[in-house]
Amino acid sequence: DANVYAALDLLATMVAVVGPDGSLLYVNAMLETVAGLSRRTLMRGSLLEWFADPQPMRDTLAAVVRNEV
């Protein structure tokens, strides 16, 4: 639920809450502004799409899920 993350919109830092598969669960207003895309558009995609080589990010997400980071 977006209300859980509402305070993140007050930050001047870009924030993305990402699922284990790279899906974007939430992006804050600053990320929306910097990307020049709506929150809805950003959240339809995957964080992995932002990288030329997504494997390091996949590995990092997997490590976070395993609580290794």
Residue ranges in 1-69 assigned as alpha helix (H): 29-35, 39-44, 55-65
User: Residue 39 burial (CB < 10 Å; 0-12/13-18/19+)?
Assistant: middle
- 32-50: per-residue pLDDT in tens? 999 999 999 999 999 999 9
> What are residue 24's phi and psi, to 5 degrees?
-90, 115
Q: 10-35 pLDDT, tens per residue?
A: 999 999 999 999 999 999 999 999 99
pLDDT of the residue at 2:
61
Query: Is the backbone of residue 22 left (phi > 0), alpha (psi -120 to 50) or beta?
Result: left
pLDDT tens digits for range 51-69:
999 999 999 999 999 999 8
